[in-house]
Chain A
Amino acid sequence: MNHWRFPTVRSGAFAVWRRNIMVWRKLIGPAVVMNFGEPTLYLLGLGFGLGHFVGEMSGMPYLAFLASGIIASSAMTTATFEGMYSVYTRMDPQRTYEALMATPLEVDDILAGEMLWCGTKSLFSGIAILLVATLLGVVPGWQALWVLPVVFLIGLCFAGMAMIMSAIASNYDFFNYYFVLAISPMFILCGVFYPIDSLPDVAQGFVQLLPLTHAVALTRPLVAGGELTQPLLHLGVLAAYGAVGFYISVALVRKRLLV
């Protein structure tokens, strides 16, 4: 069997997605606290605290700047956690994939379902942040709802890469590498807390390669108001990262499980 053959996704992916949402429903209490609690803390703490000194950034109140960036980074971390810790748990210690693969489901369907679920969780976090930001009065209008499909796409984008990490992990500690080397730098560098044009030139070019930069470039104008620049480029980068991540993770999980 050629593990690198192109993935085929069937409707079975929705059965995997459904399984995950059924489990999530059972744990909805802590999930909702996490979805609302964390962004609220960031927005109140940093938005008001730091915002008091910063005032405006890129022509908008700092709270609005922050909220429109956090919605992207939160989609990133939500999908990343799910695609690493949860996917790995189901794949290895919990042996859920072993049970799934005894049915007509293939690795392709399973990971497609996982990815959809990661996107869905990112969407939940996006809805929570949008609500909080609206209550804090920094969302100018209904056009902000367009950020929700974008947040879903951001979730898919980061899910693909996280699942690659799960496919090559031999324990949970391995994920620290990816967090320290990829997720944390993006969180700090990609325009969530300050505009990327305040970075040195070299760094500005570098962060253009990172998906979170493109995610923020979409969410900021959509949430805080303003003009979208090059939306197709940004959407394309996110979709490409997601698609390539999905393909590689499917191949690596096949290699890992079909032995």
Chain B
Amino acid sequence: MNTPSSPLASARGLVKDFGRHRAVDGIDFDILRGTCFGFLGPNGAGKTTTLKMLLGLAPKSGGELSVYDLPVPERAREVRARTGLVPQADNLDPDFSVAENLRTYATYFGMKPDDVGDRVERLLAFAALTDRSEAKTDTLSGGMKRRLTIARALINEPEMVVLDEPTTGLDPQARHIIWSRLNELREQGTTLILTTHYMEEVERLCDELVIMDHGRILDQGAPKALVQRHVEPEVIELRGERAGVFADDAQGLGCRVEQMGSSLYCYSHEPGEFLGRLQSATGLTFMHRPTGLEDVFLKLTGRELRD
């Protein structure tokens, strides 16, 4: 057994090559038991590949990887027996009803379908799907499918749940329900690992995160610590055609200025004077807010468009 202080999952110099393309380029991380750990990065950063390697679903090309102190992929079967996976795209069984999906999935873990009745009931309640238990999965909404996929990942009472972009493509209401369920899980002591490109998701859920790009970890830490480390506490965002006119002004008053599209971002420790000047300007839209992970993310990964 792990002691509480030893990491639940740990990687050293982890590498994944696809032919000549290096998707994961020597990353290190330690994920502590009972925490929520996030992999944040743009598309193609290597997040999903890293998760697949954790479960032995993609063989690593180099480095060391262990989960529950078991080497992966050599003992990935045992790791998967104690872990839940919520994949990026739903892969519920379309031939079965909601409840049958859960009962059948239990058999893949060696459980008998007749022994899991209580557990299935509990998970249906957790996923708020009790009244849809006999429905076919293709009649469910996107949010319901996600909740069922999460419930399915809990059928083996896992110590750790791995979620690959759990709320991508969901409407705001559906996302909030997912977040509240994931928080519930974390409060019960389940370790969560998730990938996302939503800052809000990380800020709401994660104790610790890594920011990845081009297969590398750019930095890691608690969300607040990363914000403090990389960006000024406040930002003024200017929009519109005339925004560019204020770039020199902002710099003169000690702001760090970045341009993205037609918006101008002015980062500052003391924005008071610049704000005063903007208030007297006409025909300008601007927003003053505390900085967050998004600013860190854009600073570290750059502002160019990704595919």
Contact = CB atoms under 8 A, between A and B. Distances in A.
B26 interface: no
A1 interface: yes
Contacts of B109: 103-104
Interface in B201-237: none
Interface string B52-91: 0001011100000000000001000110110001010101
A95 B91 contact: yes
Which bucket holds chain A's interface residue count? Answer: 20 to 34
B198 interface: no
Contact of A26 (B87, B95, B110): B95
A208 B108 CA distance: 41
B300 to A, nearest CB: 29
A259 B73 CA distance: 12
A34 interface: no
Main secondary structure of the interface of B (DSSP, over half): loop
B91 A259 contact: no
Interface stretch (A10-18, A159-167, A245-253): A10-18
Contacts of A15: 107-108, 110
A22 interface: yes
B85 A258 contact: no
A104 B87 contact: no
Interface residues of B, number: 29
A258 B58 contact: yes
Contacts of A259: 18, 58
A105 B91 CA distance: 16
Contacts of A106: 77
Given A12-B110, A94-B94, A102 B81 contact: no
Contact of B55 (A12, A96, A100, A102): A102
B267 to A, nearest CB: 41
A102 B105 CA distance: 10
A52 interface: no
Interface in A17-39: 18-19, 22-23, 26
A56 interface: no
Contact of B73 (A1, A18, A23): A1
B104 interface: yes
Interface in B6-31: 18
A23 B95 contact: yes
Nearest to A102: B85
Contacts of B85: 102
B57 A96 contact: no
Nearest to A95: B91
B95 A102 contact: no
B179 interface: no
A99 B91 CA distance: 6
Interface string A205-226: 0000000000000000000000
Interface-central residue, A16, A22, A102, A104, by most chain B CB under 10 Å: A102
A99 B92 contact: yes
Interface string B92-135: 11111000100011011110000000000000000000000000
Contact of A101 (B18, B57, B59, B105): B57
A11 B109 CA distance: 10
B108 A105 contact: yes
Nearest to A254: B59
A152 B89 CA distance: 36
A258 B77 CA distance: 14
A12 B58 CA distance: 21
Interface-central residue, B81, B94, B110, B152, by most chain A CB under 10 Å: B110
A18 B57 contact: no
A92 to B, nearest CB: 11
Given A101-B57, A103-B80, A18 B107 contact: yes
Contact of B96 (A23, A104, A258): A23
A197 B107 CA distance: 50
Which 6 pairs, one residue from A and one from B, show the smallest C-beta to C-beta distance?
A: A95-B91, A103-B108, A102-B85, A15-B107, A1-B59, A23-B95
Given A18-B104, A103-B156, A104-B110, 5 more contacts: A12-B110, A23-B96, A100-B108, A102-B85, A103-B81
